[in-house]
Amino acid sequence: MSPLPSRQVVLARHIPGLPSPEDFRVEPVDVPDPKEGELRVRTHYVSVDPGTLSRLGGVASYAPPLAPGDVIHSAAVGEVLESRHASFAVGDLVLGAWGWRAHAVVGGRGLRKVEPGPEPLSAELGVLGIPGLTAYFGILELGQPKAGETVLVSSAAGAVGSIAGQLAKRRGARVVGTAGGPAKCRWLVEELGFDVAVDYRAEPDLEAALRRAAPEGYGVFLDNVGGTTLDAALACMAQRGRVVVSGLVADYGVPAKQRAGLKNTPYLITHRLRMEGFVVLDYAERFPQARAELRQWLADGTLRHREHVVEGLDAAPAAFAGLFRGENFGRALVRVLKTPGPPSR
């Protein structure tokens, strides 16, 4: 064993607004031998998450900000190349948070062994990972739609929204989703069973479009977008509606003073609305049971998901920047395995 030549993606400079590929740098790195209690892993997939942007601006958020030169954080799945940890053996598939690296040395903490199953390994980063679990707890725990209620999901063709809408359908709700462009909208209705898809790009007045899609008002809104989308939806909620704030992509990387701001706050009172933010990691103890249910629904074909996979770490920065233009169609992932540069072992 010896240091392993590999590559990684680091932050080149703080990102004050929306990201561009030039804000990142792909660089070679020698990955050291694992020490006692550590393992060396080869990455198969890493995730591309909009929420990461909140840590790239140099401003403290709920997680500390990254400094230039830091490796970009993300979830990752891969296989164990060498192990000096009693719980993991060479060849094990593992999920961790080692970020945009082709290889990494990691400790056992925060690492989870993935049992091979019918789903591809990439699903552990999507429908069976944080996005799927966010949809699960956001809808089933916080939103709790009742049969007959209408549920609105923003960014509905995305990693969280696409699962959330299907879970709401399982509960007997009518489901409306917003997405950008006719292809995504068609997919929502024809493949995932959404009742209505609202193409926000084609609607000059989103509030009016949301109202048309559900004149009865929304009992639950799972929001991944924030900004003007959240504001428009606030005006279209039913009495006692629940707004579950799962992500605020529109606000990430925008200084507070420059944000559009929520102006429809009086609806909170007139419609007795509840608005709640959450961090899915708070439900970590219940992840195994939630994941088992999601796995079951995938197996019986009642839950569908879609991945937007780009090839190679070098493509990660552009994929990240594309998230904020709605370019991904499904869970955005980077397949790292074939990344050129690191010698295959």
Which of 36, 282, 285, 300 lies at the binding interface for a copy of itself (CB under 8 A)?
282
Q: Name residues contacting a copy of itself, limited to 284-343 (CB under 8 A).
A: none
For residues 282-296, one letter each, b for 16 or more C-beta atoms within 10 angstroms of the residue's C-beta and e for the rest, the string is ebeeebeebbeebbe
Q: Name residues contacting a copy of itself, limited to 43-72 (CB under 8 A).
A: 54, 61-62
User: In angstroms, what is the minimal distance from the CB of 50 to a copy of itself?
Assistant: 12
Neighbours of 204 (CB within 10 A): 6
Neighbours of 259 (CB within 10 A): 14
**Binding-residue pattern over the window 246 to 275 for a copy of itself, x denoting contact by CB under 8 A:** xxx--xx---xx-xxxxxxxxxxxxxxxxx
- The angle formed by the CA atoms of residues 20, 333 and 103, to the nearest 5 degrees, is 95
Query: Which CB, 49 or 251, lies closer to a copy of itself?
Result: 251
Q: How many residues bind a copy of itself (CB under 8 A)?
A: 36
Which of 22, 70, 276, 327 lies at the binding interface for a copy of itself (CB under 8 A)?
276
Which of 186, 278, 304, 309 lies at the binding interface for a copy of itself (CB under 8 A)?
278
Which of 27, 277, 288, 327 lies at the binding interface for a copy of itself (CB under 8 A)?
277
**Binding-residue pattern over the window 172 to 211 for a copy of itself, x denoting contact by CB under 8 A:** ----------------------------------------
DSSP state of 325: T
Separation of alpha carbons 198 and 166, rounded Å: 16
As given in the structure block, the two tokens for residue 78 are: 């891969």
Q: What secondary structure does DSSP assign to 14-72, as a single string?
A: --SSS--GGGEEEEEEEEPPP-TTEEEEEEEEEE--GGGGGGSSSS--SSPPPPTTPBP
Query: Which CB, 112 or 274, lies closer to a copy of itself?
Result: 274
Q: Which residues bind a copy of itself (CB under 8 A)?
A: 54, 61-62, 226, 230-231, 245-248, 251-252, 256-257, 259-279, 282
